[in-house]
Amino acid sequence: MKSKLISTIIAGILLTTTSNLQAGLPVIDVANIAQTSISAYNNVKQVEKMVINLKKLRDSVNFDYKQYFKDVLGVTNFMESIAYARADFEKVFKDKFKDYQIFVDLAKGETGYEDFEKIYRKLGTTTRDTVNSSLKQLNLSIKEMNKDEASIDKLREMSKTAEGNIQVQQVAHQIQLKIIEQSKKLQQVLMSNVQVQNSWVAKQNAKEEMQEAAKASRIRVKDIDLKRDWGKAR
């Protein structure tokens, strides 16, 4: 059964779903799942680009504190959005198709994951917490920086002293390493999740084709029997 695709922006992240997703009723459709896979892949590539740009800023001779920490906010918020959006999609998928979780359990030997929804939610929280733990050393937080961009200007004042400059540089390096680590974890989970979903849908489609083939075969056998009986009656 085919359904109309719609694009929904969730916290700045573009995810493709079916028109029934908001009602909690995803539709099994190869085209839909394929499009979701493409969106997931594009999200991963976008995170990679953001992390690379962050590293370039960090390694720049003229380190722009304000731009760097603004980009830290951007990539952190983006990764968190991906994690929670995927967690929501996975929940809807599991709730609608009860045998899907059994398939996930069977695939655990290859993926190493037994509950993608929980892992996504944990990643979303961990990403924010790890960055916040570093920002705390500068008496800053993601929440504060999101609400008041002027708070980032504190870094400029702090960096004017030799001691303050070293502290800001150290925190920037810590955050860079943590974001790289979290982005790799998110990419691994996301790619494994997409692979499992695609495999599950392929199996469902194969099962339906076999059922349709068996049904068609029974109809043909029945028609032959009827003709044979009709011939005897005559």
Q: What pLDDT digit, counting tens, does each position of 52-92 carry?
A: 998 888 888 788 888 888 899 999 999 999 999 889 888 88
Whole-angstrom distance, CA of residue 29 vs CA of residue 93: 13
Distant-in-sequence contacts of 138-141, Cβ < 8 A, 24+ apart? 138/167, 138/168, 138/171
Specify the length of the chain in residues.
Answer: 234
Angle at 125 between CA 132 and CA 52, to 5 degrees: 65
Which pTM value belongs to this model?
A: 0.73
Quickly state the pLDDT bin for 50 (edges 50, 70, 90). Answer: very high
Measured CA to CA in angstroms, residue 50 lies from 54, 77, 119, 141 at distances of 6, 12, 22, 20
Q: 147 φ, ψ to 5°?
A: -80, -35
Quickly state the pLDDT bin for 228 (edges 50, 70, 90). Answer: very low
Whole-angstrom distance, CA of residue 145 vs CA of residue 164: 19
Helix (H) / strand (E) containing 42: helix 30-59
- pLDDT at res. 218: 63
Query: Above 90 in pLDDT, residue 131?
Result: yes
Whole-angstrom distance, CA of residue 162 vs CA of residue 139: 18
Under a CB-based contact definition with an 8 Å cutoff, are residues 180 and 50 in contact? Answer: no
